[in-house]
Amino acid sequence: MVDGGIAESEIMKPHVAVLPSPGLGHVIPLLELAKVLVVHHGVQVSFLNITTEASVAQNQLLHPHTLPPGLRVIDLPPADISTLVSEETLVLTRLCINVEESLKPLKSVLMELGKLQALVIDLFCTQAFEICNELSIPTYTFFTPSTSFLAFSLYLPTLDRDVDCEFIDLPAPVQVPGCTPVRIDDLLDQVRNRKIDEYRWFLLHVNRLPMAAGIFLNSWEDLEPVSFKAIREHPFYQKTPTPPVHPIGPLLKRDAATTESDAECLAWLDEQPSNSVLFVALGSGGTLTAAQLTELAWGLEMSRQRFIVVARKPSDASASATFFNVGGDINDPKAYLPEGFLERTKGVGMAVPSWGPQELVLGHPSTGAFLSHCGWNSTLESITHGIPMVAWPLYAEQRMNATMLVEEVGVAVKPVVEPGKGVVEREEIERVVRMVLEGEEGKVMRRRARELKVKAEKTLNFGGSSYESLSRVTKEWKAQHL
């Protein structure tokens, strides 16, 4: 063994470092990329783990026993951010401050790793560009949301220069070059107020996208053909200039370990008819208000459809209240679901506290639909299992994803919020749940999702477009290594 644990056989392979920002939505796809590089492309990978405010779930995910040989985790020292953030600090600002402080020792960490062919970062780690420039390390961005959101992000600095008013006051949708216009109501939270820190952080990072040697995308061409064509061919992106774009998705968590409660959930599913169960889960950070959770529970009960709901303590303060505490406290659903709900729905429904085995549930033959927050990882998991969705966006770019899934991809239905109500009411929840599980519209969406499932499998296999896209980059790294 040499170099702190790297086998001599690994020295012959190109060495790449991978750096995600905190949060499962970032860690999971970058970890899956690292695994694919090691297992299928003959690359050794050092995975740089930001330990500051790391959740229980993140620590479990990066346990050495779950990782293939050739992939090692290097923990960055925890940073003290207690004087820089407070309970009121919004999620993206908190995340960016965390990264800024955690990356202070990055230069020395990279130098200790020896010669690297590349560093792969996610969108919120762009401080690495200057450091890697000093060290002559090519830096790639793994853009974890959708391709259409990449197009919007590349356009945002121009929009920021050209528009004086707040974007939410614009009289018409935002015309992203070559793409479907973005409705004002669908704009992500971070750009709805240009005076706040979240907007400044987001703009800072997207401004640096053109500095990348290339941009990896957790998508594939058949899923988002219009956005891919725009980024590659529209004059705006050629002038930006946009780095080479490499679609390499869908990269998803595949090898989930099961807990005792997971096994109970899957055993219950085994007893249900095919395509009959609605899975309700709102991502690693998603939380509902108390009023909305009550309406959701009543809507599920009124629909008389089978369901599994990942029940999480409500928060009236934030739709992303558990972002930094995934897999932490487990709550008793009886404490916050409507009185008698669990008893009345016994046998028809099941409540799983806080966290559920999402990829296993979506892959189960009894699962027929997914009520989802439309985070990009969850969206890809649903599509790659051929499961139609009830779109329930909460924060970040999820509203943009939801609209695309309904209107362009054709695999989702979005509940209607009555003007002035502030919540999706139980009758509307009953309607969409019945529609997606029993209605003709649901059957059409299921057929479309299953078509995309087949295409997703093909694109990842040897010779498929995503496999070959990543292979071309790794061949460049190998040529540089020789």
The CATH number of residue 474's host domain is 3.40.50.2000
For residues 226 and 281, membership in a common domain is answered with: no
Burial 404-430 (b: 16+ CB within 10 A, else e): bbbeebbbbbbbeeeeeeebbbbebbb
pLDDT at 3: 42
CA–CA distance from 44 to each of 19, 38, 440 (Å)? 14, 6, 49
Evaluate whether residue 34 is within a structural domain: yes
What phi and psi values does residue 383 have, to the nearest 5 degrees?
Answer: -65, -40
For residues 170 and 308, membership in a common domain is answered with: no
Residues annotated as catalytic (active site), given as ranges? 26, 122
For residues 131 and 172, membership in a common domain is answered with: yes
User: Bridge-partner residues for 371, per DSSP?
Assistant: 280, 390
For residues 297 and 230, membership in a common domain is answered with: no
User: Bridge-partner residues for 47, per DSSP?
Assistant: 18, 73
Nearest CA among 207, 216, 226, 205 for reference residue 148: 226
Q: Quick check: 168 and 143 in contact, CB under 8 A?
A: no
Evaluate whether residue 114 is within a structural domain: yes
Q: What is the pLDDT along the chain (482 residues), one digit of tens a residue?
A: 334 445 545 567 999 999 999 988 899 999 999 999 999 999 999 999 999 998 888 888 888 888 999 999 999 999 999 999 998 999 899 999 999 999 999 999 999 999 999 999 999 999 999 999 999 999 999 999 999 999 999 999 999 999 999 999 999 999 999 999 999 999 999 999 999 999 999 999 999 999 999 999 999 999 999 999 999 999 999 999 999 999 999 999 876 667 787 899 999 999 999 999 999 999 877 889 999 999 999 999 999 999 999 998 888 876 655 555 555 456 788 889 999 999 999 999 999 987 788 999 999 999 999 999 999 999 999 999 999 999 999 988 999 999 999 999 999 999 999 988 889 999 999 999 999 999 999 999 999 999 999 999 999 999 999 999 999 999 999 998 76
What phi and psi values does residue 129 have, to the nearest 5 degrees?
Answer: -60, -50
For residues 319 and 230, membership in a common domain is answered with: no
Evaluate whether residue 341 is within a structural domain: yes
Q: Quick check: 91 and 62 in contact, CB under 8 A?
A: no
Evaluate whether residue 1 is within a structural domain: no
CA–CA distance from 96 to each of 84, 136, 146, 149 (Å)? 11, 24, 20, 19
Distance CA(309)–CA(124), nearest Å, equals 31
Query: Residue 118 is which amino acid?
Result: A
Evaluate whether residue 217 is within a structural domain: yes
Question: What is the residue range of 441's domain?
Answer: 260-457
For residues 95 and 139, membership in a common domain is answered with: yes
For residues 283 and 205, membership in a common domain is answered with: no
As for how many domains the chain has, the answer is 2
For residues 352 and 421, membership in a common domain is answered with: yes
Looking up tokens 């290339």, which residue turns up? 214
For residues 166 and 291, membership in a common domain is answered with: no
Evaluate whether residue 3 is within a structural domain: no
For residues 469 and 444, membership in a common domain is answered with: no
Evaluate whether residue 2 is within a structural domain: no
For residues 269 and 290, membership in a common domain is answered with: yes
Evaluate whether residue 303 is within a structural domain: yes
- The two tokens of residue 334 are 């009886």
For residues 43 and 91, membership in a common domain is answered with: yes
